[in-house]
Amino acid sequence: MQHPRRNLFLLAIIALLLVGGYLFYTNNRFVPPAVPNPNGYEVLLEAAKQLHPRTGWYYESTDEERATIIATNKPVLELARRGLEMDSVVPINWTAPDMQGHLDQLSGIRELARAFSAARYAAQAAGNRSVAVQNGADMLRLANHSYQGGLLVDLLVGFAIQNMGLDSLAKIVDEMDRDSCEELLREIEQLDFEPGVIEKAMTVDAQRAKIEMGAATYFLAAWQSSAITAASVKSTKVAFDRVRSLHKQLQLRIALRLFLLDNQRLPEVLAELEPEYMQNGLDDLLSDKPFVYRPADESYELYSVGPNGNDDGGPNDDETKSDDVRLDTEEFKLEASDAKNTELRFPQ
């Protein structure tokens, strides 16, 4: 026997939930990040427009063309550095978000990262280690400027740029003197991602979606896609922990270099680095386990066991067999056939 009153009661409850959710999403105030004036991000975009068109392909260019790319980009990178000295916020048109235009801007930011990478390579090849270190550190600064106040896609691009910068600096560590190591270690400790960046970016994403879809439609869509959203948050968190693991690995590599310079040997265990060389812990955020460290004379193995928590013997070319994560310390080959294996690859 049906109960009309019970059915009406259930319908009333559902209606109240929908109305309550609608009012929550329409009345929950969102205050867009204040855009500084001048905005360093706008300076970075202007610099990106002036880059040599072959910047992203410097690794497969001839020596002559590569020299032209580096020379053309030199004043452009000085302009970008001025932008990196300013406060930056990603400019978003909140009245009518234009994702295609924003994706074009992100392409320019990534091209700037490639320009810094090219300058790092050229400086290191010429034996100018201080300039090489500066360009690698500038990539980390660019990563931090690329996502402030932005969307989730901005944050993911920031992850990728930071990954490039960390790899670039890892290639220089073993050539650095003590003063350079100490200076770089102090600087990169300040260039890690801030806590809560994923949540901030998702809040901005939600507001943009509400503007595009309308609050009521957005509420229904968000309710229906909650499982997909949870999966997206989880994968972004893994990407975040991965880049922070690489960030910690670079700090450890610099600390190991300092220890070697001071003691003419490597530590037997990473714990020997504390507290003189490492003051902010040795733990790996990606695996919640210690880093794998195997010293041998003046070389060593250092990597994370990755999200699965198992030591697969270190990273290898077959990603299906290893979940381990390690900084890339090998310089790429300047040949077109090696294009897919260069620093240009951005992690998904």
Residue 177 lies in a domain: yes
Residue 70 lies in a domain: yes
Q: Is the Cα torsion angle 266, 129, 193, 52 positive or negative in sign?
A: negative
Report the number of distinct structural domains present in the chain: 1
Question: Which amino acid, residue 232?
Answer: S
Residue 10 lies in a domain: no
Residue 53 lies in a domain: yes
Check residue 316 and give its pLDDT: 64
- Reported pTM: 0.79
Check residue 235 and give its pLDDT: 77
Per-residue pLDDT of the chain (348 residues; tens, 9 = 90+): 455 555 555 555 555 555 555 544 444 555 677 888 999 999 999 999 999 988 877 777 788 888 899 999 999 999 999 999 999 999 887 666 567 788 888 999 999 999 999 999 889 888 898 899 999 999 999 999 999 988 888 998 999 999 999 998 998 898 899 999 999 988 888 877 777 888 888 888 777 766 665 554 545 455 444 444 566 677 788 888 888 899 999 999 999 999 999 999 999 999 999 899 988 888 888 888 889 999 987 789 999 988 888 877 777 655 556 778 888 765 543 333 333 333 333 333
- Asked if 236 and 156 count as a contact pair (C-beta separation under 8 A), the reply is yes
Residue 322 lies in a domain: yes
Return d(Cα 174, Cα 181) in angstroms, integer: 10
Residue 205 lies in a domain: yes
Residue 176 lies in a domain: yes
DSSP 158-170: HHHHHHHHHHHHH
Provide the strand spans (E) within 183-334: 292-296, 299-303
Q: Which domain holds residue 282?
A: 35-341
Q: How many CB atoms lie within 10 A of CB 86?
A: 16
Residue 157 lies in a domain: yes
Check residue 342 and give its pLDDT: 33
Half-sphere exposure (CA, 13 Å, Cβ side) for 277? 24
